[in-house]
Structure 1
Amino acid sequence: MKKSNLDRRDFIKINSALGLGAATLLSTNPLQAINIFNAKHQQPAILGGQPAMASDWPSWPMWNPETDEKRLLEVMRSGVWSRKNVTIEFENKWAATVGSKRCLAVVNGTNAMNASLANLEVGWGDEVIVTPYSFIASISCVLFNGAIPVFVDIDPDTFQMDATKIEEKITKRTKAIMPVHILGLPCDMDPIMNIAKKHNLVVVEDACQGWLAEYNHQKVGTFGDAGCFSFQNSKNLPIGEGGAIVSDNDAFMDRCYSYHNYGMPYGSMKVEGSSGAVMAGNKLRITEYQAAIGLAQLERLEDQTSKRSENAEYLKSKIATVPGITPYKLYEKVTRASFHLFPFRYNKEAFKGLPRHKFLAAMRAEGIPCSAGYFPLNKMPYLKNAFESKNYKLFYSKKDLNYADYEERNQCPINDVICGEEAIWIPQYVLLGSMSDMNNIYNAIQKIYDNAALLNK
């Protein structure tokens, strides 16, 4: 019999993993035990094998009582809970962090976009160039302001709005472009800004997933007329709920400030000799304790972003070797991504026809959090509902609101394939794990690939 190099410690580890009793351990050929151990680890967990990831992922959101609670408790005990100095401090720090002149904190990213469009006078009769691959808020803000969204298909490699397809969608009614730095991967901003300048369009950046991401060493959210961020609980800078508008345009930011505070006068919006509201506004102020939480989270954002980037690049290099797996690509001028999500494309044909939903189920059984992502925004019933609403019918003609024609003009076939068949996401907190954890993700994918035919029975 061939001598085994297996020592006592390794043998006990194998025995524990296989769930064998001591008597069985002592009577088992060591090489046979290794084979059993390896078989269990090579078999998909969904079929009874050992999961690739047995330990827990980092919890989210993160909160360290020792470092994070002092400021929050000070605010709570002060009794000054509505917007004041702590909110201003957070705004100043966020503006400095992204390299913008000014920042206005608001209740959420959705209303950051609503307010930005409203105060750039985007509204009834206008069209806004949008992406079909995003969260509903990226489009609902257009409808809230009475405009019509016009969808541009995506670049399948980057998941972003395809800048080469924008100009063909521009009409005499086009007023704005809303690039969405979805998943934390920056859009191709140079051609977008060139198109906007050529056609005299405003640009509102949806950077709600783009904290600290950069294009040509410039932070996203600072290219257009306005940049909008979200600090919702799942986001890379979590406050629970919250958002922000950034811009270098003082007049615009003064309007936004008045708008977020009932339309009360502020800065250049002050009217001499008058009192009370100077414009139709809203109430979008955040609280002092939200700002205190944001300041605590901001302290670790840089380090977390760097770690996500390092792990994303490593994981990308590993899974790219698996046939049928195509990781994200970044545009040439992208100098940093924030990775709110780690995306890749899945080709079922390379996996013996294994449907995406079965791949996802197998991944989850391996202990890997993942999902299929978005449903196409241009194919949801909210659009038809808006077109059939009283106000849209009052303002727009029947031709404008012919929904069958609108649907035909706004087909995005590449996005349909990405949403319906290919896209897979891994959430951002996973990228805060160890290098070993990234290897476990790769091992899970490889294991599923190796057993795809068996999984598809």
Structure 2
Amino acid sequence: MPTSNPVRVKPWPSWPLHDTAEAEALRQVVESGEWNGVDASAVLAFERAYAGFLDAEHVITCTNGTVSLEIAMTAMGIGSGDEVIVPPYTFLATASAVLKVNALPVFADIDPGTYNLDPDAVVAAIGPRTSAVIAVHFAGQPADLDRLRDICARQGLALIEDSAHAHGAAWNGQLVGTFGQFGSWSFQGSKNLTGGEGGALSTDDALLAATARELRNCGRRPGFDWYDHFSLGGNWRLTAFQAAVLSAGLARLPEQLARREACAEVLDRELAALPGIAPLARDARTTVHAHHLYAFRYRPEESGGPPLEEFCTALQRLGVPATPGYPRPLPRQPLFAERNFDVKATAWRPEHQPTRYDELNLPVCERACAETVWLPHNLLLADPEEMWDVVNAVALAGNAEASA
């Protein structure tokens, strides 16, 4: 059967999902006249609802997930002269946010099974200027929060959870975003909980929460005049329209989490039986995997199949929207490799070996970039039995003769 004949003809579930709940929520905001402001009813309602969902004391909304990371670090006094450990297999924002506060990102390699930060690599990367660790919950699976939290506590480092992929994910029964000093969230259009754009921080620390609220609102403090500004913040406020859409989506999230888990269970079991295919490992302490992505390793040297790019193109022709993952480790991007940032503000020096980005040895991340395939999370909102379309397409696309 040639790969030009689709295995999957029926459309996959679309994203973002919406119904009359969003329309009604937006109508109420329009008619209320409260379209903006940190005290808008829709904004406060979502912050309370999401804090309740996470079992966190505080949720502070903002414009996007990148800004939430910047606010978190600024609130903790991280800046010039500091280093922050980050993974190399992540979106740009995890590390660029560090540069935005004039600190330096230090890249530690990832675990070969989960693609999350390798705690041993984190320990090796700690230096005298290290102030924090940003742990990304890649694809929706929690990082090793037991070890990372212990390492940070023993070394006196802040732990920030980049939870942009992980809405509803849980580690030993506790939702992510509640283990570190801050949890950082993105509500960008592709995310499992979306307002089109938007972001948030979660924390149990009342002082950090107050500082974050001040920073996202132009340095203003409650009880003072509109033109009183106490810190160098910004206009990073979520709109009431976004908050209303997020509240409607939050109501659906638990059912969607369960459906994604059921579909991923089929894929984990069936894809593992195919030659050259290896699903990412699932840590036994991951009690809920959010599955922002379904990622698996493709090794044509084991199956005789085509190269990665051709394999993904074949899957697309077969009706499965597969793409290669990150094309290179983040420090190989010109921004870092060529040091296209303010080296003076970040206090970078040539002798700072952890930040000689062009010399870093990141073998696990290098291999992940060379062999990983991503499937989008909306695919996992189909019925579990429909995952056989994925399995059959992967088997066909990885067959050298069928792909010729």
Q: Find the partner of 2:308 among 323, 333, 356.
A: 356
Residue identity matched to 1:383 = F
Instruction: Say which structure, 1 or 2, has more relative contact order (CA 8 Å, 6+ apart).
Output: 2
Contact 1:44 1:366 in 2 (8 A): no
Q: Name the SS of the counterpart of 1:411 in structure 2.
A: coil
Identity %: 33
Counterparts in 2 of 1:150-169, with a 5 A limit?
150-169=106-125
How far apart are the structure 2 equivalents of 1:182 and 1:403?
A: 23
Does residue 277 of structure 1 match 2:229? Answer: yes
Contact 2:337 2:358 in 1 (8 A): no
Counterparts in 2 of 1:170-319, with a 5 A limit?
170-266=126-222, 276-319=228-271
Contact 1:257 1:266 in 2 (8 A): no
**CA 427–397 in structure 1, closer or farther in 2 if over 3 Å, else same:** closer
How far apart are the structure 2 equivalents of 1:317 and 1:253?
A: 42
Q: Which has the higher helix share?
A: 1
**CA 279–404 in structure 1, closer or farther in 2 if over 3 Å, else same:** closer
Aligned length in residues = 401
Q: Name the SS of the counterpart of 2:105 in structure 1.
A: strand
- Alpha-carbon distance, 1:351 to partner: 2.5
Deviations 1:87-107 (A, max 9, x none): 001001001101100000101
How far apart are the structure 1 equivalents of 2:86 and 2:318?
A: 36
How far apart are the structure 2 equivalents of 1:365 and 1:132?
A: 31
How far apart are the structure 2 equivalents of 1:275 and 1:394?
A: 29
Which residue of structure 2 aligns with residue 72 of structure 1? 26
How far apart are the structure 1 equivalents of 2:306 and 2:227?
A: 67
Which residue of structure 2 aligns with residue 89 of structure 1? 45
Residue identity matched to 2:196 = G
How far apart are the structure 1 equivalents of 2:64 and 2:344?
A: 29
**CA 398–186 in structure 1, closer or farther in 2 if over 3 Å, else same:** closer
Q: Name the SS of the counterpart of 1:286 in structure 2.
A: coil
Which residue of structure 1 aligns with residue 372 of structure 2? 423
Residue identity matched to 2:90 = S
Which residue of structure 1 aligns with residue 332 of structure 2? 379
Deviations 1:407-453 (A, max 9, x none): 32x32111011102x1001000000012232011111112234x314
Deviations 1:56-97 (A, max 9, x none): 0111101113x3311210111222100211100100100110
Which residue of structure 2 aligns with residue 452 of structure 1? 400
Does residue 442 of structure 1 match 2:391? Answer: yes
- Alpha-carbon distance, 1:397 to partner: 5.6
- Alpha-carbon distance, 1:384 to partner: 4.3
Contact 2:106 2:125 in 1 (8 A): yes
- Alpha-carbon distance, 1:395 to partner: 5.7
How far apart are the structure 1 equivalents of 2:289 and 2:345?
A: 43
Contact 1:52 1:444 in 2 (8 A): yes
- Alpha-carbon distance, 1:236 to partner: 0.5
CA RMSD of aligned residues (A): 1.9
How far apart are the structure 1 equivalents of 2:193 and 2:345?
A: 41
Which residue of structure 2 aligns with residue 411 of structure 1? 361
Q: Name the SS of the counterpart of 1:358 in structure 2.
A: helix
Of structures 1 and 2, the larger Rg is shown by 1
- Alpha-carbon distance, 1:238 to partner: 1.2
**CA 266–44 in structure 1, closer or farther in 2 if over 3 Å, else same:** farther
How far apart are the structure 2 equivalents of 1:374 and 1:354?
A: 19
How far apart are the structure 1 equivalents of 2:395 and 2:340?
A: 49
Residue identity matched to 2:123 = E
Which residue of structure 2 aligns with residue 11 of structure 1? none
Which residue of structure 2 aligns with residue 60 of structure 1? 15
How far apart are the structure 1 equivalents of 2:330 and 2:222?
A: 37
Contact 1:120 1:252 in 2 (8 A): yes
**CA 265–346 in structure 1, closer or farther in 2 if over 3 Å, else same:** same
| Structure 1: runs of 5+ lacking an equivalent | 1-42
Residue identity matched to 1:295 = S
Q: Name the SS of the counterpart of 1:335 in structure 2.
A: strand
Contact 2:261 2:290 in 1 (8 A): yes
Contact 1:258 1:281 in 2 (8 A): yes
Q: Name the SS of the counterpart of 1:393 in structure 2.
A: coil
- Alpha-carbon distance, 1:401 to partner: 6.6
**CA 140–436 in structure 1, closer or farther in 2 if over 3 Å, else same:** same
How far apart are the structure 2 equivalents of 1:275 and 1:379?
A: 44
Which residue of structure 1 aligns with residue 79 of structure 2? 123
